[in-house]
Structure 1
């Protein structure tokens, strides 16, 4: 059984140029490697968000249900949420 499967994909022109440029710059040996790396990065990001939701967000929700008087104003919550997402993005770079 093959461990790979050939596919045909369609990309916007600018994305296709970026893929080809990464190969021509020598960053990757093939266009397939560029796409695989992008998919791995996407999976890592999704895993990080899932982990954060299951641990920090779920724990916060449980704490709020246990004592609603400790709720934070919505503006403060959004600032903290955006800061955390920025932190996750920096960790991926």
Structure 2
């Protein structure tokens, strides 16, 4: 695993410490990795929606119903 050194603002460092002290996570590293995983998943969802919108815009319409798009979005969000 790659090792990194980062600087945090005091409020962010205190928040990280509190999460570890509350036993939400076993270490700051675990928490930071989880936050990055969440951000990556969120970016994938945004990218999927953007691609869907671009396809619809370029074609002038989409054959997918609103319910189909929502179903696909929920499937992506829930993994």
TM-score, with structure 2 as normaliser: 0.71
TM-score, with structure 1 as normaliser: 0.61
Residue 13 (str. 1) matches residue 10 (str. 2):
yes
In 2, distance between residues paired with 1:60 and 1:5?
Answer: 40
CA offsets per residue over residues 51-81 of structure 1, 9 Å max, x none?
0011x311331233x8xxxxxxxxxxxxxxx
Runs of 4+ in 1 over 2 A off after TM superposition: none
Question: RMSD of aligned C-alpha atoms?
Answer: 2.4
3-state DSSP class of the match of 2:26? coil
Paired residues, number: 66
In 2, distance between residues paired with 1:59 and 1:8?
Answer: 41
Which of 1 and 2 has greater Rg? Answer: 1
Residue 23 (str. 1) matches residue 20 (str. 2):
yes
Unaligned residue ranges in structure 2 (runs of 5+): 62-73
